[in-house]
Amino acid sequence: TLFIFDGDNRWGRLRESQRVYDLAHPREVVLLGRLSVYKDLLLMPIARESLRHDTASWNTSTQVERTRELWHEGSSGPAAVLASCLQAPRVKLLLRDAGLKLPVIVAPLDQELPQHGIRKILPSFAALATTRDAAYELVALMYYRR
């Protein structure tokens, strides 16, 4: 079972979901999040019968709780959680605290930031968005650690 946590970096998550599906062929792909992301998954070459949409969670801690509930109620086989590279540290912490020993698959940013040349130091919308999301994750990680 592949549990996909909705949140920042939607396109990176979708690309990584497809990559994982192509490699591992999970029996079930469960999106915990928005209907719009589920509709995007329906457009991808993923077997419709394996897709499941769960709307009961509205933040990361409830996504973890729903993952625990869904995994224990119907999935006895291996499972993993897919989250963005920014959200992954917090997801790992919450999974551990919930007693879930599930691997976290890290999805890339929607748009990778330049690593070389002058563009590396020039302001960009992608860098601003990443900074905003990273700052949010740092504060949220501190909150959950308390």
70-28-108-145 Cα dihedral, nearest 10 degrees: 10
User: Using 50, 70 and 90 to split pLDDT, how confident is the model at 79?
Assistant: very high
47-31-68-96 Cα dihedral, nearest 10 degrees: 110
Q: Is the pLDDT of residue 78 over 80?
A: yes
- Specify the higher pLDDT residue, 69 or 129: 69
Q: Is the pLDDT of residue 76 over 70?
A: no
Q: What percent of the chain has pLDDT over 90?
A: 61
CB atoms within 10 A of CB 54: 18
User: Using 50, 70 and 90 to split pLDDT, how confident is the model at 108?
Assistant: very high
Q: Is the pLDDT of residue 75 over 70?
A: no
- The label of the residue with tokens 């709780």 reads 65
Predicted pLDDT at 93: 94
Mean pLDDT, rounded, of the chain: 90
pTM: predicted TM-score of the whole model, two decimal places: 0.87
Region class of 126: left (phi > 0), else alpha (psi between -120 and 50), else beta: alpha
Q: Is the pLDDT of residue 124 over 70?
A: yes
Distance, CA of 88 to CA of 105 (rounded, Å) = 8
- Specify the higher pLDDT residue, 76 or 42: 42
Cβ atoms of 40 and 33 closer than 8 Å = no
Predicted pLDDT at 118: 86
Question: Across residues 71-87, what is the average pLDDT?
Answer: 86
Instruction: Output the six-digit token pair for 19.
Output: 């990559």
Pairing of strands 80-84, 29-32: unpaired
Name the E strands within the chain: 2-5, 29-32, 51-54, 80-84, 104-107
Question: Across residues 82-97, what is the average pLDDT?
Answer: 94
